[in-house]
Structure 1
């Protein structure tokens, strides 16, 4: 069974991470966000099931388990005799993964409970909730039809065109259910250490997807770019002009907001979604390999009983 560990826990997660990091900025974010999140989730599920299978094998290697269930623990141990550490490493990893998933889920429930209070406030046009607050904030609240929450501080900081772009951006988050993609990415990151490299990447990717959807709704990419820059400046308490034509070196060192602005101001290019087949194929292979791992474990335990 050791080859299952190598493929589903070592090789496939690394391949998925490399593919997603390479493709995230090179494809249309509206399509890439969904496909890459699905591929990541599938790879994480395959990894978790494989770890669980090896954890069961670790427990089956104990003499007490063999005596209780009437099978040969030595026969089970012999399957990975050259790698005696692998089953116990997987047991430790699956316990860590489950603890991480529980932490992410608790944080999600806490954030959901906090956000739910905004759904009971009176809304303008059915979705928009404006609250009296000097802080410069705006965010989308999913569920119950969705709400867009904007503080009076944010409204005062933007002109009408920028405000319209901001609302279009938040509507895009609700329409595309981006909160689900972010949650899946964070749950996946709890499963395998390599997937933690993608958490910020997915946060950025869903923001880019919302930017593009808002730009399409308003038919004005520059308006959305200016709104993003203006909102970022006032949110950070910054002053001065926003540089709209950064160099490649600037972009390499820049944070998420300048890259989003530069992407909107750059000419829109037609990009084939075909490269998305790569992470999807790796994830599908990992799932198939995991199914065989579970089957092999069942055969091993049956043989140990005989």
Structure 2
């Protein structure tokens, strides 16, 4: 096997480096969707590359091990044993991280759904902790917005409209799926952790822009975002969903500027990286198949 099998890991580094720059310009919606798609492709490609590397350890098991010493056979040499072992350990750790993330996320959803029955898509919990969060539905049911009395006491009527519009935007665009997909990708490949953070920020920006359009006042939206986001910093349940009020300063600054216009040219780099992942993993797969056929 050649260096091609390692290229998905290198391309993941390039993607992680370019993600914040992609998020800086244009509308947050296309960027969030594009980065999520390429992160999933990157995680799938790197996981398959690690799987192929780990499978080369099978040549050390009988009866294949005996063929390695056969005097008349010239079998292609697989990757070094330590490399295959590290790949196997990386796969195991990735699977454990993925399981932990999924369990934590599902547990948080269950906890938030116990706050009360939704009426007209809203649950007001009599909790002192100030936070508002979009709670996804399950089994085809619609999600709802959960807001605490602690949050409502901090906001005036206009700011409450902004918060409700923001959380409804999360539900309407199913932002939890984008966040969950990038979190899963980062669990499988830690090199993609910056993508997870970038997409979490982009869905917040996306919901901010939807809220600003709904209330028709960017200054009011900026003020509401600042107060709500700062109030929810450190809120365990909201933060566990990955769509809490982090990076408030950047979000407020963006709302003080004109609404962004779509710039699809910034998605050229992710598209090229996606093509790179597909090409490299395809070539590596053919090499792996050729190696396996020679040994088997």
TM over 0.5, yes or no? yes
Q: For residues 209 and 65 of structure 1, what CA distance do their matches in structure 2 show?
A: 57
Equivalent residue for 1:285?
276
Question: What is the correspondence of 1:186-205 to structure 2 with a 5 Å cutoff?
Answer: 186-205=183-202
Equivalent residue for 1:39?
38
Equivalent residue for 1:263?
254
> Alignment length, in residue pairs?
278
Equivalent residue for 2:241?
none
SS in 1 for 2:146: strand
TM-score by length of 1: 0.83
Q: For residues 277 and 55 of structure 1, what CA distance do their matches in structure 2 show?
A: 33
Cα distance change on mapping 1:302 and 1:38 into 2, 3 Å: same
For structure 1, list consecutive stretches of 5 or more residues without a partner in the other structure. 238-254
- 1:76 is displaced (CA, Å) by 6.4
- 1:194 is displaced (CA, Å) by 1.6
Equivalent residue for 1:273?
264
Cα distance change on mapping 1:133 and 1:16 into 2, 3 Å: same
TM-score by length of 2: 0.86
Q: For residues 259 and 221 of structure 1, what CA distance do their matches in structure 2 show?
A: 14
2:126 aligns with one of 123, 128, 132: 132
For structure 2, list consecutive stretches of 5 or more residues without a partner in the other structure. 235-245
Question: What is the correspondence of 1:214-233 to structure 2 with a 5 Å cutoff?
Answer: 214-233=211-230
Is contact 1:208-1:260 (8 Å) kept? yes
Is contact 1:148-1:167 (8 Å) kept? yes
**For residues 87-111 of structure 1, what are the alpha-carbon distances to aligned partners after superposition, in whole Å with 9 as ceiling and x for unaligned?**
2221221112111111111112212
- 40-49 or 199-208: which moved more? 199-208
- 1:79 is displaced (CA, Å) by 3.5
- Output the aligned Cα RMSD: 2.2
Equivalent residue for 2:203?
206
Q: For residues 303 and 51 of structure 1, what CA distance do their matches in structure 2 show?
A: 20
Question: What is the correspondence of 1:1-80 to structure 2 with a 5 Å cutoff?
Answer: 1-9=1-9, 11-58=10-57, 60-64=58-62, 66=64, 72-73=67-68, 78-80=77-79
